């Protein structure tokens, strides 16, 4: 029997800049992997339909399953075309749990930050 790999709880503290850089590297790798998996899955069923290998109904079922698995690329944003970065972030924040978004504050430089406690 294969042993399941257990994830270690994520440490949210950054004792130093190197720790924060390590988090950023992991974050980028995870974002890239998620994009790779999403693109591969979507491309597969779209190409199968385009080649006539699956029916319209099967393509719709696969699209529905894809949507259920992955959800919106950016929660709260159906399409980014024509939206500014600020509009996209605003819609994302509105789609999130209000008790967490309420803790988000804007500093005078325009960078977002979180209040602690």
Q: Are 98 and 55 found together in one domain? A: no
Same domain? 56 vs 27? yes
- Would you place residue 10 in the very low, low, confident or very high pLDDT band (cuts 50, 70, 90)? low
Are both 50 and 91 inside the same structural domain? no
Nearest CA to 83 out of 72, 96, 92, 95 is that of 92
2 alpha-carbon distance from chain centroid: 29
In a domain, 3, yes or no: no
> Does residue 30 lie in a domain region?
yes
Residues 65 and 100 in one domain: no
Q: Which domain holds residue 113?
A: 76-117
Q: What is the pLDDT of residues 30-48, one digit of tens each?
A: 999 999 999 999 999 999 9
Evaluate whether residue 44 is within a structural domain: yes
Per the confidence metrics, is the pTM higher than 0.85? Answer: no
Among candidate residues 71, 91, 108, the one where a domain is terminated: 71
């Amino acid at each position: 029997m294969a042993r399941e790999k257990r994830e270690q709880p994520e440490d949210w503290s950054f004792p130093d800049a190197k720790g924060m850089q390590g988090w950023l590297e992991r974050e980028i790798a995870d974002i890239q992997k998620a994009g790779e998996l999403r693109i591969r899955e979507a491309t597969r069923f779209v190409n199968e339909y385009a080649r006539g290998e699956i029916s319209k109904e099967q393509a719709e079922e696969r699209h529905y399953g894809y949507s259920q698995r992955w959800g919106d690329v950016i929660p709260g944003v159906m399409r980014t075309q024509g939206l500014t970065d600020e509009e996209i972030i605003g819609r994302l924040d509105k789609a999130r749990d209000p008790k967490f978004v309420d803790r988000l504050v804007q500093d005078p430089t325009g960078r977002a930050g979180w209040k602690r406690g």
